[in-house]
Amino acid sequence: MKATGEVMAIAQSFEEGIMKAVRGAEISLDTLNAAPLSDKPVKERLYNTDDRRLFTVFEALKSGISVDEIHEITRIDKFFLYKLLNLAEFEREIENGITEELYFKGKPLGYTDKALKRLSGADILPETAAVYKMVDTCG
């Protein structure tokens, strides 16, 4: 039996939060692109409710399986599926290179510079500094 952990990420959007959560899970990933653990077709793997399901759903979206079809199989709320689709579509946009405009579109989605370079094949990106903000829990 495998335990499923939890992470917490505070962000300004779901997309940014899920990307932070993946990085915070300490599973050696900085995006939702995980290698499949099975040779089964992605649609077949959607029926498995395991700790890799999020990554399988993302793979399915990137491969062109519709939100409606994934919802029918997984019963995951369409709100979340459409948010994941935003990330999948962004990754498709940068496959053949990244412009400054796309770079600044990717940052609020939660992509790190390292991930943007790898996904786009770019060797130079605009330089920015990481910012960490304190959360006020006192009122």
Distance CA 24, CA 93 (A): 25
Tokens of 138: 């006192």
Q: Give the global pTM.
A: 0.85
Tens of pLDDT, residue by residue over 19-59, are: 999 999 888 999 999 988 789 999 999 999 998 999 999 99
Q: What is the pLDDT of residues 108-127, one digit of tens each?
A: 999 999 999 999 998 877 77
Distance between CA atoms of residues 9 and 16, nearest Å: 9
**What's the pLDDT score for residue 16?**
97
| CB-based contacts of 40-46 (< 8 A; 24+ apart in sequence) | 43/69, 43/73, 46/70, 46/73, 46/74
Q: Is there a contact between 93 and 66 (Cβ–Cβ < 8 Å)? A: no
| pLDDT reported for residue 2 | 59
Domain ranges for the chain? 14-120
For residue 71, is pLDDT > 90? yes
Half-sphere exposure in the Cβ direction for 110 (13 Å, CA): 25
Whether domain 14-120 has CATH 1.10.1030.10: the reply is: yes
